[in-house]
Amino acid sequence: MPALRYLAAACSTDFPNPKDRSEIASRVDRMLAMIDSAVVGYEPFGDVRLIAFPEFAHAAPIYLTPQELLNKLAVHVPNEHTDRYVKKAIEREVYIQTGSFLEADPKYPGHVFNTTCLVGPEGLLYKYRKVNPWIPWEVHASPHDLEGYTESMFPVADTPIGKIGCAICYDWLFPEAIRELALNGAEVLIRVSAYMDPWGATPPMDWWTVVNRCRALENMSYVVAANQGASLANYPPFSWPGGSMVVDYDGRILAQADPGPGEKIVVATIDIEALRAERERRAGHHMLGHLPTEAYRTARRPIFRGGLADARQLSIEANQRAISAGKARANNVKTK
């Protein structure tokens, strides 16, 4: 019988930003040690079965063009690092949502993806590529923008510890993205994030907490949210507030790390059987079951077409043009 009640660990990291892919292995060393710490340290309180790490835990896009990122930081996925995570997942009987990689894929030459993987004892279960890059600064490609892209944009893995889906950082500012995961069956939504100040984990903005709680309750799902905790000195030009958290399907915060830079691990209980019982029993506040999809017509009309709409190569300038065009279209979207 699968263990459907377990602990999930949301982790923050604080590394100097790599300038070259050769430095990634040392980051993996530390995150594997953090997995050991979580599993062993919290063993008296429960079984840690799910562990999530933040966006840019392996490398951040510190170069301003895709070509520089491809030359210096991008890696193919799977790779020797994901192999090490699979080995650790087997050793500790856990599922690991990796921090994001800058990914190169020969099927899409000239493009870089911001990619996180779910790995477990079975191996690599899915790759999620960020659909909503943080524009204009991020010049990695969205699957949405690539002609002929046929892979699932919002994969969900059916595992012995529940159905798990993930999206990255800015994706979570778009309710439509997370709803795709929920309607694909996700029971646990993982946020792999690098959300900076002042929108991070403290008032008066506190978008981090507001969005995590809202996405949990509107999708009747657990949220395991791992946020980057790098100091300004390590990951300029921003400071990163951490505040990693676990939220239940009613939007209650079950655990949250103190905001501020530094490595942090917080754990809380995920009870999949309780979630399934609530989804089955409820008639009220069942937002998935109450969703009148045919009423929402604006989502069928193109607004943001991406930085590749009028360019062969992504750039900050192409993103700026796409933003201006998207704003103009948004001002002219009308429904009857």
pLDDT at 1: 43
- Return phi, psi of residue 188, to 5°: -120, 120
Q: Assign 7 a pLDDT band (cuts: 50, 70, 90).
A: very high
Give CA–CA dist 116/58, Å, rounded: 10
Average pLDDT (139-157) is: 95
Give CA–CA dist 28/22, Å, rounded: 11
For the chain, give every domain's residue range.
5-288, 292-336
pLDDT at 34 over 90: yes
Give pLDDT tens digits for 256-307. 999 999 999 999 999 999 999 999 999 999 999 999 988 988 877 889 999 9
The answer to whether the CB of 224 falls within 8 A of the CB of 215 is no
Q: How high is the mean pLDDT of the chain?
A: 95
pLDDT at 301: 86
pLDDT at 310: 84
pLDDT at 162 over 50: yes
- The CATH homologous superfamily for domain 5-288 is Carbon-nitrogen hydrolase (3.60.110.10)
Read off the amino acid at residue 47. D
Q: Which two tokens stand for residue 176?
A: 């439509």
In what helix (H) or strand (E) does residue 50 lie, and over which residues does it extend? strand 48-52
- Residue percentage of the chain with pLDDT more than 90: 90
pLDDT at 23: 97
The vertex-97 CA angle with 92 and 103, nearest 5°, equals 125
- Return phi, psi of residue 22, to 5°: -65, -20
Average pLDDT (218-230) is: 97
Sign of the CA dihedral running 85, 89, 115, 240: negative
Among the listed residues 310, 309, 308, the one whose alpha carbon sits nearest the alpha carbon of residue 66 = 308
Q: Which residues, including other chains, have CB under 8 Å from residue 291's CB and lie 6 or more apart?
A: 179
The answer to whether the CB of 167 falls within 8 A of the CB of 225 is no
pLDDT at 119: 98
pLDDT at 58 over 80: yes
Strands 48-52 vs 5-12: parallel, antiparallel or unpaired: parallel
